Each structure stands twice: as structure tokens, then as C-alpha cells.
Structure 1
Amino acid sequence: MGASRNWFEQGGEAYARFRPEYPPELAQFLASISKDKALALDVGCGNGQLTRQLAQHFDQVLGLDPSSDQIAHAIAHPRVQYACAPAEQLPLADHSVNLITAAQAAHWFDLPRFYAQVWRVASSNALLALISYGVLRLDEELDARFGRFYWQEIGPYWPAERKLVDSGYADLPFPFAEQVAPELAICKAWKLDELLGYISTWSAVRRVREASREDILQNFATELRSMWGDPSQYRAVRWPIKMRLGML
């Protein structure tokens, strides 16, 4: 693994490979408070990380994403169907869905149009969960360097919508009967290439590259590698899960 390696030349395959999976407790919790378990809908499903976890608890799950590249890399499951569709045009019958989730996706939606679709497709007492995970945390000696990279060096390249993720969607309008959500987290043990592969999937990284500022990325990768030590060494990575949970 040479220091000059371009860690940030990635695409949909990298998204499927490096995006952290949600803990099984998330799908278990959502299923436990769902009145019916006939159909769950995962909107903006990406490569289906949460979608297929929901399939462990629901009779049928539909994963929707506007990106054909994401759907092409989604992992199959016998109770999951995937389709390309935007959040604002859900291809489902009225009052047919028991649980609607949007994981790390709602900040991209036209919320008034999405919410109108939610009200249309939701069954009686259906649940809506807008899920996000916050800024990752590393071991103390690495965390400060990562924080400088995230907040300062690539901070100006994040789209405005990213602030909604950083706040756990607390600032999103949410016209539903809000329910209390448990404290959950994604916890991983990653090698250096896995962490940098994950970072490569960020929209801010794409914007940095488009601005011909690859030096920001490569300097960070080089410094982090020096601090990491043996790049095959596993280190703890943690993301707090935030959720806006509502009953319809």
C-alpha cells in the first residue's frame, strides 16, 4: 500500500463495499413497534443495507432508489424487491405500507412531496423512520486529525444538506406523532483501507476532486496512514445513530 495510492477513485461498487451496515438491533426495534409486518418500504435504499435487514422481520420489503448504479449493486434477498424510483413518486398502492424508512437519505428529498406520498401509501398506524448516522469517531489520537479533515479541510465542499445529517435531522420539519427512539450506534473494527474506502464514497470527496484539490485528500490519507501505523491493524470506528420516528 504505497502512500501515493489514490484511495478516492471509487464508485457504486465502493459504496456497496464500504458503507457501514446498521446494527441488527435497528431493524429489530422497528419491527417490534410496527403494528403489521406485511410490507416495509425503504426509500433511498442505496445498495440495500437496511432493506435486507428489514426482510428478516417483514413478509415483503421494497427498496427504492433513484440511482440505477446503486440498485445494480444491491444484494438480493428472497423477500426483497428493488426498483428505481424517486422518493417523491412512490410506486405503491394507497394505504399499503406498514413501515417506511429512509436511512441516510431524507436530506436529499423534496420533503413536502415525499411526505404527501408517505401519507398516501401508509396503512393505518404505519410508522415512518428517518434514520441518519452522525460523524464517525475514531481512537483519540486519530480523532483530532480526522475532525480537522471533516470540519475544516473538506467542510466547505459538503452540500448544504449535510448539515441536516450532522444535526441528526433535528431541524427537519416532521409533521407526525413523534415517538421516542432508542440510543443505537454502528460499531466497526476497520483497517486503514476500509476507512479510506468509506470516506471515498462521500459527496464532499467527489466535489473536492471536481475542484482539482486532490492534494487535500492525499495529504490526509498520507498523514492518517503515518498515524495509523500498520495499515492492516484494526481500529475502532463508531457512528451514533439518530432517528426521527413518527406514527401515521
Structure 2
Amino acid sequence: MTPLDRFSGHADLYAQYRIDYPQDLYDFILSSTDGRHMAWDCATGNGQVAGVLADTFEQVEATDISETQLILAVKKPNIRYQLSQAEQTPFANQTFDLITVAQALHWFNVKAFHTEVRRIAKPGATLAEWGYGLATLGADLDPLLIDFYRNQVGPYWDPQRVHIDKSYATLPFPFADVQHQGFTIRRTWSLDRFLNYLRTWSAVRQYIHENEEDPVTPFGEQLQPIWGDTERDVTFPVFLRLGRVR
């Protein structure tokens, strides 16, 4: 099966406007990880997770199917980027202390990915899979955002998006010592910053591709009278599942 690449065409937007993850998420993952030698960040995208892991691990391997994303990714001397599918990698058996995949598992053949994880993880290594759901903006704007998400661009989401909405609960996770944890991303953004984040959505990119117009522009005009010219709080719910490879 050919892997889906939904992000090469707007890698510059992705690198500039995608959100990063809270430090307490990384602290939780590291507290459940024994070794600090080798980490693999799968589907690394713009390398934001790899960049954080590089501050703790001796070596970080980071892979993605998008060459364009990797060109723009965070550069550190102990990060090596490679083009690779999640389900079949160039790594040797029993290599990694930690394997991470952020906001990407739903694009994979999950069973095949987990088979590869078992091959290249050290005994007792940690696998951390996480994602984040739809933002909340406040009671005055949330209904408009939900309508945009479900109805205006809803038909343009790939079917896999349902796994994000269900916090990966319907995807298998056959590992030991499983833990589930929730976190919160809090940002204070202008309307323009928020709209550019929306333009990184795969559904928005597909809408633009099929209709040759940007749905975010009229949506922004709809939000403007309520949002105003100030910054406001934007909150994202993060879900994590973590386990040990035995």
C-alpha cells in the first residue's frame, strides 16, 4: 500500500504554523523510558519532536515519507533524518530505547507498524503514540469552529481522521504496561495566526485542491467580528498512549 503524503505540498506552512507539544508530555514519556541512547521519531514532519528528544538522547533517528518536510526540519548534530515508511525501516534489530509518533499513527498500517516496532525496539523499550484533537476557542466561537470542521471542510477529511476524533481508542495497541494520559496545549494567538494554523489541515488543503479557493478566508471573515483585533486563548486536548515492548 502506497503511504499517504498529505503535507509535502504545504511543508513551509506546516513548519511555520503547526503547534508544538507541552513539556509535561515529554516529561511523562521520559519518566517511563529507561535508556537515553537511541530514539526514533517516526513521521517526524518538521522535526519538532526530534528536536526535543535530541536534548536528552545521544542519537535521534527521524523518518518521514516527505522529502520536502525533512529539508525544512529542525537541524541538530545528533539528529539524522531519512526518508522511510513507518512500516518498513532501514534500522537494525533491537536498536531503540524510545519510539515516538505524534499526530501521524492514523495514516499508517498500524499492525505492520507495530510489527516493525517490535523488531527494532530494545527489550523493554517505550513506544509513545499521541495526537491532539479540535481546538476550543471559547463558547462564543466554538460552534462556528465545529461547523467549519464538520460541515464546511468535513467532507474533505480522509477517513482516517475519525481515529483522531476517537483518541486512537479504535486502533490496536498490543504492548505491555499500557498507560493513557491527557495533556493540554494552551496558546494565545491572533486571528491571523489561528487561520494560518487552519491552512495546515489536510482537509483544507484538499478543499483548495478540488475547489481552487481557500475556505479559510471567508471563515476568517465570519470570525473577525467576534474575535476582534486582540489575541485570545486557543486550547488543544492531547491524548497519549504509552507502552513497553516486551
Distance in 1 (alpha carbons) for counterparts of 2:89 and 2:215: 39
Distance in 2 (alpha carbons) for counterparts of 1:27 and 1:55: 12
| Partners of 1:27 and 1:57 within 8 A in 2 | no
Distance in 2 (alpha carbons) for counterparts of 1:50 and 1:187: 17
1:243 is aligned to 2:240? yes
| Partners of 2:61 and 2:79 within 8 A in 1 | yes
Aligned position for 1:6: none
1:57 is aligned to 2:56? yes
The Cα of 1:199 is off from its aligned counterpart by 0.6
Deviations 1:196-228 (A, max 9, x none): 111101110011112216364332121112321
| Partners of 2:15 and 2:73 within 8 A in 1 | yes
Distance in 2 (alpha carbons) for counterparts of 1:21 and 1:243: 14
Query: Could you list the runs of 5+ residues in structure 1 that have no partner in the other structure?
Result: 1-9
Query: Could you list the runs of 5+ residues in structure 2 that have no partner in the other structure?
Result: 1-8
Identity of aligned residues (%): 39
| Partners of 1:28 and 1:57 within 8 A in 2 | no
The Cα of 1:178 is off from its aligned counterpart by 4.5
Q: Identify which range, 198-207 or 48-57, moves more after superposition.
A: 48-57
The Cα of 1:189 is off from its aligned counterpart by 0.8
Aligned position for 1:48: 47
SS in 2 for 1:204: helix
Closer, same or farther: CA 59–210 of 1 in aligned 2, 3 Å = same
Aligned with 1:234 (options 225, 231, 235): 231
Distance in 2 (alpha carbons) for counterparts of 1:127 and 1:186: 23
SS in 1 for 2:28: helix
Aligned position for 2:124: 125
Distance in 1 (alpha carbons) for counterparts of 2:182 and 2:109: 27
Distance in 2 (alpha carbons) for counterparts of 1:215 and 1:245: 37
Q: Identify which range, 56-65 or 213-222, moves more after superposition.
A: 213-222
TM-score by length of 2: 0.92
Q: Identify which range, 145-154 or 38-47, moves more after superposition.
A: 145-154
Across the aligned residues of Structure 1 and Structure 2, the Cα RMSD in angstroms comes to: 1.5
| Partners of 1:24 and 1:53 within 8 A in 2 | no
Closer, same or farther: CA 201–215 of 1 in aligned 2, 3 Å = closer
Distance in 1 (alpha carbons) for counterparts of 2:130 and 2:235: 16
1:193 is aligned to 2:173? no
SS in 2 for 1:94: coil
Aligned position for 1:4: none
What number of residue pairs does the alignment pair up? Answer: 237
Letter in 2 for 1:180: Q
How do 1:1-248 and structure 2 match up within 5 A?
11-212=10-211, 214=213, 216-230=215-229, 233-248=230-245
| Partners of 2:204 and 2:215 within 8 A in 1 | no
| Partners of 1:27 and 1:50 within 8 A in 2 | no
Q: Identify which range, 172-181 or 15-24, moves more after superposition.
A: 172-181
| Partners of 1:64 and 1:85 within 8 A in 2 | yes
Distance in 2 (alpha carbons) for counterparts of 1:16 and 1:187: 19
Deviations 1:93-136 (A, max 9, x none): 10010111110001111112211110100001011111101111
Closer, same or farther: CA 192–204 of 1 in aligned 2, 3 Å = same
